[in-house]
Amino acid sequence: MVQEVRSRRRGRELEEAIYQAVWDELREHGFTRLTMDGVARRAGTSKPVLYRRWANRVEMLAAAATHFLPDSETVPDAGSLRANTIAVLKVMRERMRTTGRTTMLGLLTEIAANPEANAPVIETFIGFMRKIMTEVALARAVDRGEIEEEQITTRLRTLPLELARMEFIVTGDLPDVSIEEIVDTVFLPALEARRR
């Protein structure tokens, strides 16, 4: 035989192939119709290989999502709280588009059913954005003297993120106009009201 294929992948290599298959199946069929058989077939492997790694569908999916979403983002300082908040919301939009609406809903459903077990998933999606919001938008604004540390409450810190997430979940997207509206007519005024 001329063809000397590496017919059996292992470890990292195999896992990458599985993640890719999950992602492709997700694009093609959506979260609700993503099956273990489908992923196994597309990845050129078999179900037991999947179940040896993850206990169930959602765990596998969460791992794939985590794998494809960057766990750090470098957002250059845009010079103002307004511009940086808009930049953060655009990062969030990209992440949500990558993940997809029904996948987000599926993960939220799983989290609702099993909060402790899914703490890492919560961290990947929600905690991460809060971190970026704090570091990229708020901390810089405090440094710059644009706002006072005391103006920032948890509610206000997460406010633009919550609105962005809700809009994406319900409408399926988050246009630039909405981002600007959230920042200009809700976030900044609410923050401003706490001055002094």
108 binds, among a second copy, DNA, none (CB under 5 to 8 A by kind): a second copy
Q: Which is nearer to DNA, 54 or 181 (CB)?
A: 54
185 binds, among DNA, a second copy, none (CB under 5 to 8 A by kind): a second copy
Tell me which of 16, 27, 28, 33 binds DNA, using CB under 7 A: 33
Shortest Å distance, C-beta 30 to DNA: 11
Q: Which is nearer to DNA, 110 or 167 (CB)?
A: 110
- Round to whole Å and give the CA distance between 25 and 37: 11
| Angle (nearest 5°) at CA 153 between 147 and 158 | 100
Q: Which two tokens stand for residue 84?
A: 């940086």
The reply to whether 6 sits near DNA by the rule CB under 7 A is yes
Chain-centre distance of CA 13, in angstroms?
A: 24
49 binds, among a second copy, DNA, none (CB under 5 to 8 A by kind): DNA
| 153-187 exposure pattern, b = at least 16 Cβ within 10 A, e = fewer | eeebbbbbbebbbebbeeeeebeeebbeebbeeeb
The reply to whether 77 sits near DNA by the rule CB under 7 A is no
